[in-house]
Structure 1
Amino acid sequence: MIVSIEGIDGAGKNTLVTELRKRTGAEVLCFPRYNTSLPARLAARALHGEMGDLTDSIHGMATLFALDRYGARDVLDRFRDSTELIVLDRYVASNAAYSSARAEDLSLCDWVADLEFGELGLPVPDLQVLLDTPVELAASRAESREAADSSRTRDRYESDLGLQERTLAAYHRLADRSWRGPWLIVDPRDTGEAAAAVESRLGAVRPHDHARGS
């Protein structure tokens, strides 16, 4: 089974992923894979202003993030239609939400789906979990990380509060449409309660049991 944890920057995704790993023993994979993936490293350089006008291209940045996930397809395919569990810190919905929020055009979500699930053949997740973190709280967490660790300088996306607001709204639209499978919205401010809600939902979801919304 493939479960993706989704949300804006500073939403608390890593905290929930870590809790789920403790509870379930699941394998964990975090995107973007900045330490091991060339496309992800190039995207990071672009977001920090080191790649000229590349970051201005919504489709270009989305393609880099998609290629990062394609580089992990062998790992992801092991959990396709499987009862074994992998928990992902961000997946395809992240690309869809951020791209459509940048363009202010929801049709970008379908372009991302066609690229990643279609052209690149990535597996559709069995459950997508949205952390419904208030934008102001998420932003304060990102600022605190930056202050505590000089290597965690906020990138162009993280420092754009308007983009974060539009991205959270885009995530909600995806969840409302059951975009590419079932969704669960949780309040991440109580990590234990959020993890329990995910575990409960997992018991009701069968591998590849997708109500594939568009």
Structure 2
Amino acid sequence: MAADIAAEALHGEHGDLASSVYAMATLFALDRAGAVHTIQGLCRGYDVVILDRYVASNAAYSAARLHENAAGKAAAWVQRIEFARLGLPKPDWQVLLAVSAELAGERSRGRAQRDPGRARDNYERDAELQQRTGAVYAELAAQGWGGRWLVVGADVDPGRLAATLAPPDVPS
């Protein structure tokens, strides 16, 4: 529900909700908090669980929207609210697919063209925000925000990536 409201806000609904960095970050955090038991169950039941746009995404976008870096107040707040207060599990690994904002923009435009129901949202249409967000992501990775990071390029070999990320006792 919270993610649906956030998505609607990013497409122009709900008045000025999307203009509040902390309101949007809270909606994304509450969405993840609503799935915490599912995430914990998956972690107990499987050796590898992959989640797209986890807590670091909230830190990167929030900091970028406020023109802060990874050491700023927004990223610290996200860490406190999501990991400490809401109890989300810290990831064993975080993978940053380091691509240019231009390539990310091309891909989002392509998705929107292929799928009419997948219109680009306000964040995706803001090229400057995408540049800043990419820079904050790189800083988060460099400082080990929230755990271990692996930075890979668009040409990453999926098999080698899986072998790197898999726990030592899991055959790759």
Query: Please, what TM-score do these two structures have when normalized by structure 1?
Result: 0.73
Among residues 48, 59, 64, which one is paired with 2:11 in the alignment? 48
The match for 1:199 is 163
Given that 2:82 and 2:88 are in contact with CA atoms closer than 8 Å, whether structure 1 keeps it comes out as: yes
- The one-letter code matched in structure 1 to 2:85 is E
- 8 Å Cα contact 1:39-1:65 kept in structure 2: yes
- Gapped regions of structure 2 (runs ≥ 5): none
CA contact 2:47–2:167 (8 Å) conserved in 1: no
Q: Tell me if 1:168 matches 2:134.
A: yes
3-state DSSP class of the match of 1:78?
helix
Q: Deviations along 1:128-177, whole A, 9 cap, x unmatched?
A: 00000111111111111112221111110000010011001000000110
Query: Is residue 2:80 matched to residue 1:117?
Result: no
* Structure showing greater relative contact order (alpha-carbon pairs closer than 8 Å, 6 or more residues apart): 1
**CA distance, structure 2, for counterparts of residue 159 and residue 124 of structure 1:** 30
Deviation at 1:75, TM superposition (A): 1.1
Contact 1:128 1:184 in 2 (8 A): yes
Contact 1:127/1:182, CA 8 A, preserved across alignment: yes
Cα distance per residue 1:11-31 (max 9 Å; x no partner): xxxxxxxxxxxxxxxxxxxxx
User: Are residue 189 (structure 1) and residue 152 (structure 2) matched?
Assistant: no
How many residues end up aligned between the 2 structures? 167
In structure 2, the partner of 1:141 is 107
Asked if 1:66 is matched to 2:32, the reply is: no
In 2, Cα distance between equivalents of 1:130 and 1:182: 11
- 2:123 is the alignment partner of 1:157: yes
8 Å Cα contact 2:47/2:166 also seen in 1: no
Q: Structure 1, residues 41-79: CA drift from partner, whole Å, max 9, x if none?
A: 100110011110000000000000000001111111125
Would the aligned equivalents of 1:146 and 1:153 in 2 still touch at CA under 8 Å? Answer: yes
Q: Secondary structure at the match of 2:51?
A: strand
Identity in percent: 46
Instruction: State TM-score, norm by structure 2.
Output: 0.90
- Measured on the aligned residues, the alpha-carbon RMSD in Å equals 1.9
Q: Counterpart of 1:78?
A: 41
Q: Partner of 1:86: helix, strand, or coil?
A: coil
Of 110-119 and 144-153, more deviation after overlay is shown by: 144-153
**Offset at residue 94 of structure 1 (A):** 0.4
Q: Aligned partners of 2:44, 2:132: CA distance in 1, in Å?
A: 33
Higher strand residue share: 1
Give the AA of the match of 2:160: A
